[in-house]
Amino acid sequence: MKTRITELLGIEYPIVQGGMQNVGYAELAAAVSNAGALGIITGLTQPTPEDLEKEIKRCREMTDKPFGVNLTILPTIKPVPYEEYARVICESGIKIVETAGRNPEPFLPIFHEYGVKVVHKCTSVRHALKAEKVGVAAVSVDGFECAGHPGEDDIPNLVLLPAAAAQLKIPMLASGGIGTGAQMAACLALGADGINMGTRFMATKEAPIHEKIKQAIVDASELDTALVYRPLKNTARVYKNSVAQRVNEIEREQGKDMAFELIRDMVAGAKGKVSLSSGDIDHGIWTSGMVQGLIHAIPSCEELVREIMNDCERTIRDRLLGFIS
């Protein structure tokens, strides 16, 4: 399948594995890229820029296909040396970067100097248009269904994708709530040039997380996620475990003026990382999207990419074309 995304990124299939904190390591990125899609290492999962450089080298030992690095730019309690991470990405020869969070404009000069193509993740049409204006190569438009931060507009992809496609000139990935080939066909019909998946790639054999976490995703339904941080206007969608439910209780009790200090220890990133590595589902919060309701198996990345492509093409050929024949 050839789209503007396959042409831009130099990949066989228009499927991207989005950046995921404490999940996007070299082994997953390499497995996705070897399957003909685009794997992405999560930059800030590595504690220092030097560690990211090592992780990029480790990925190159496992694949000779294109892969990218995610750089998420968000407010943090501890300052992050974003410029150093960006320089490591460039000097390591990476040619594709997925940015997310704040406006990537301050980092575009160095990325463009090194010929890096920037795909910016956006949760609204206005942010996608701004990203296009400042010079990114493509956008990944993230609907309300997604895991992680869906923004504050609460617009699902059935509306968001065609609204964005109607105004954008650059290529667009559909992101959020996607895990099947039929959904991919729908996204293409709505104006996308490819898809970005996160949660679906968590439930693969190569994902470097505990098997109990993968099985929890398989066992969950589309109802088993929780939205946290809404009073803080920094909404995140996470797996609905006991910690997320307790956070929601505190948020309801405290209302819009809730202080972050009341939940800080419960939602610490280090605790979520322990959940992913140990399999203790309730140790901390960890992100998972509504698409978990459509995940029923734990295939290899190669099997998953092949299944999605076959399903997508079958949906277009056998179902959609049938309506007009």
Q: What is the pLDDT of residue 165?
A: 98
Looking at residue 324, what is its pLDDT? Answer: 87
Which residue matches tokens 């920094």? Answer: 234
- Domain residues for 256? 221-287
Mean residue pLDDT across the chain: 97
Q: What is the pLDDT of residue 250?
A: 97
Contact present, 305 and 13 (Cβ < 8 Å): yes
pLDDT per residue over 76-106, tens digit each?
A: 767 899 999 999 999 999 999 999 999 999 9
Q: Do both 130 and 253 map to the same domain?
A: no
Q: Are residues 309 and 246 in the same domain?
A: no
Considering the domain architecture, whether residues 64 and 161 belong to the same structural domain is answered as yes
Are 12 and 156 within one domain?
yes
- Is residue 287 scored above 90 in pLDDT? yes
User: Looking at residue 119, what is its pLDDT?
Assistant: 98
Average pLDDT (164-183) is 98
At 74, is the pLDDT very low, low, confident or very high (cuts 50, 70, 90)?
confident
Q: What would the mean pLDDT of 262-281 be, rounded to a whole number?
A: 96
Q: Indicate which CATH number applies to the domain containing 318.
A: 3.20.20.70
Going along the chain, which residue ranges are E strands?
Answer: 15-17, 39-42, 67-73, 96-101, 117-122, 138-142, 172-175, 194-197, 225-228, 236-239
pLDDT of residue 62: 98
Report pLDDT digits (tens) over 47-68.
999 999 999 999 999 999 999 9
Residues 161, 79, single domain; the answer is: yes
209 confidence band (pLDDT: 50, 70, 90): very high
Q: Name the band, by pLDDT with cuts 50, 70 and 90, for residue 10.
A: very high
One domain, residues 282 and 307: no
Residue 235 lies in a domain: yes
Q: At 59, give phi and psi (nearest 5°).
A: -65, -40
Q: Does one domain contain both 195 and 318?
A: yes
> Is 36 part of a structural domain of the chain?
yes
Instruction: Identify whether 124 is part of a domain.
Output: yes
What is the average per-residue pLDDT within 230-253?
97
Residues 162, 268: one domain? Answer: no
Q: Give the pLDDT mean for 148-177.
A: 97
Q: Are residues 251 and 149 in the same domain?
A: no
Q: Is position 271 within any domain?
A: yes
The mean per-residue pLDDT over the stretch 237-259 comes to 97
Largest CA distance in the chain: 61
Q: What percent of the chain has pLDDT over 90?
A: 97
> Is the same domain home to 189 and 128?
yes
287 secondary structure, DSSP code: B
CA distances from 215 to 180, 200, 203, 277 (A): 18, 12, 8, 13
In this prediction, residues 3-25 reach a mean pLDDT of: 97
Residue 18 phi, psi (nearest 5): -70, 160
- Our count of domains for the chain comes to 2
Are 98 and 172 in a shared domain?
yes
Check residue 34 and give its pLDDT: 98
What is the structure's pLDDT at 76? 72
Domain assignment of residue 216, yes or no: no
Average of per-residue pLDDT across 146-155: 96
Are residues 157 and 136 both part of a single domain?
yes
Instruction: Give percent of the chain above pLDDT 70.
Output: 99
